[in-house]
Amino acid sequence: MDTAILHALNDFAVHHDGFEDAVSRYEAVSQALFLGLVLLLVAIGGEDGALRRAGVAAGLGAGLALACAQLLARLVERPRPFVADPTGVHLFAHHAADPGFPSDHATAAFAIATALALRDRRLGAVVGVLAVVLAAGRVALGVHYPSDVLAGAVLGAACSLALYAPAPRSLIDGLADTTGLLLPAPRGWTLGP
């Protein structure tokens, strides 16, 4: 099933240039988009500091999840689809042939989306949709199997959920509040209704 979904999405991208172009462009800016969002939330802060806390939680969740992903990648060493099946999978852009399980992009994106959803459902839902589009796009571009991005999504979400437990959340909020002393927040920005 993993390979069937990969081939269906990859073949669709091969035969639909407009789709492939849009996915390639989004994939190319996705890291900057997610990082920029986290930094923006930290910089904005909000009158009550909730945006800053959400941004710090998202950044730390992504960092923890990516560290765990690197360990898993070294243990599993699963080849990327374009390496395992170079004649059957079209790769749309140059990519390193390093292990693809779990997907770093999906890991970070879902860690950020989950951390934000725990603090503001609407913001988390929007970022969650962006994370799903990114994960599906990575499969369509031939860089990952669906199970690579699914594992990344689960890992990212799990790390952000773990950091939302009372003890780490208190430490994260304290760190964010300390950061807030250094960065004055613009007036009028708040999180949630």
For residues 51 and 175, what is the distance between their CA atoms, to the nearest angstrom?
A: 13
Contacts with 156 (C-beta within 8 Å, 6 or more apart), sequence order: 61, 62, 65, 106, 107, 108, 109, 110, 111, 112, 113, 114
pLDDT surpasses 90 at 193: no
Contact between 110 and 80 under an 8 Å Cβ cutoff? The reply is no
pTM comes to 0.91
Please provide the distance, in angstroms rounded to a whole number, between the alpha carbons at the two ends of the chain. 42
pLDDT at 66: 98
More confident site: 183 or 57: 57
